[in-house]
Amino acid sequence: MMREDVIEVDIEKLIPGGDGLARLDGMVVFIPGVLPGETVKARVVERKKGWAKTGSPEILKASPDRQTPFCPLFGRCGGCSWQHIAYSTQLESKAAFSREALLRQGGFSEGDIPEFRVTSSRPEGYRSRIRPIILPGGGAGFHSAGSDQAVPVPSCPVASAGVNRFFTETPPALESGTQLFVFGDEKNFWTEGIDGEARAEVAGKTFRFPPESFFQSNLLPLAELIEFVMEDADHNGRACAMDLYGGVGLFGAFLADRFDRVIGVDRDRKSGDWWKLNVGPNGTFHPLSLENWAGRRISNKPDFIVIDPPRTGLSPSVRRVIARLKVPEIAYVSCNPVTQARDLKDLRDAGYKLVRYGVFDLYPQTPHVETVAMLRMTQERLMT
């Protein structure tokens, strides 16, 4: 198989990142825009040792789960890449590649993996956080797929009602070419550079934060995700919990209802005041990277930790410190099941057991997924 060859293959499965995976002549082939079970013809655009990648394929035999995209900008706008896939198949694929990550990157056996909890979302009208580009002459758009060209967006069917108000009521004061964050709920929107504070309602709590600060992009399944994380949070005591990569305090605020003291750590200094506002008086915030925090003497041994790192996961030094703390229970929240599984391998070696695992679809119509691994340290390791 060489670059520019046209090949015909059967699609085996979908993988993290969204491509389909096929095999030909002992090589793995990655193909965009396909579904499991389809037969396709495509041209090879990249060839490396052991694998190849193709351009957009011709579908020779379509899956019964292939559907017509509901957005007229699908394929031009770079925001969604899975609208051609039935939503039930999207969920199945996300659960499948999360399980495969545990097996391959995490080194788990099938018997070590608990039954998954899979939580769906409303597949349209859910997205509350976007980063559009302001267009010449007014209005806004998104980058096109695979380029920096802007695609005008009059409305977005996956966005919340508040975000869609932004597209129809784009503030005229915004400068053309500016890319900025917008947050919107079911009614209102808040714009970076114009509004100093956005608000979000989650499981009976009101969170306040700047529109440009990170907050989850789908408010709808968040109550169930929070419930999953907090189910056994204070099982081993109520003295102290840690909210690592704490952001503006989404998890810290719920920990504050269960623990006497909550310690938040995040490298973003601007998040600190908002974290303390949302968490309340029993919260203490450290504006440090986790690596710098890990290098300090940690005086408070926590009863429970929530970890919510970026896609790159935990660095080796942070994994070592968490293992050394011997925390009875850990909730590891991740937007990348592959790096999460890699980290879980080290934590298992340190004495943690995976007791619950949740797949939460915060990003319908895309290959992205949120997973939660609940870990418990074995009694033997706690006593040593």
Over residues 50-62, the pLDDT tens digits come to 999 999 999 999 9
- The pLDDT-based confidence of 323 (bands split at 50, 70, 90) is confident
Predicted confidence (pLDDT) at residue 383 exceeds the cutoff of 80: no
Nearest Cα to 247, choosing from 217, 223, 220, 203?
A: 217
Rounded-to-integer distance, Cα 366 and Cα 18, Å = 7
Rounded-to-integer distance, Cα 106 and Cα 100, Å = 9
Task: Specify the DSSP class assigned to residue 335.
Answer: S
Question: Euclidean distance between the first and final Cα of the chain, in Å?
Answer: 55
Tokens representing 70 are 């509901």
Give the pairing of strands 240-244 and 261-265: parallel
Nearest Cα to 163, choosing from 142, 193, 137, 183?
A: 183
| Angle at CA of residue 144, ends 142 and 149, nearest 5° | 90
CB atoms within 10 A of CB 252: 28
| Neighbouring-strand partners of residue 333 | 372
Looking at residue 344, what is its pLDDT? 97
SS3 101: helix
Looking at residue 293, what is its pLDDT? 84
Looking at residue 195, what is its pLDDT? 96
Looking at residue 145, what is its pLDDT? 81
pLDDT tens digits for range 99-155: 999 999 999 999 999 999 999 999 999 999 999 999 998 899 999 987 888 999 999
Which domains does the chain possess? 6-61 (2.40.50.140), 87-121+221-383 (3.40.50.150), 129-209 (no CATH)
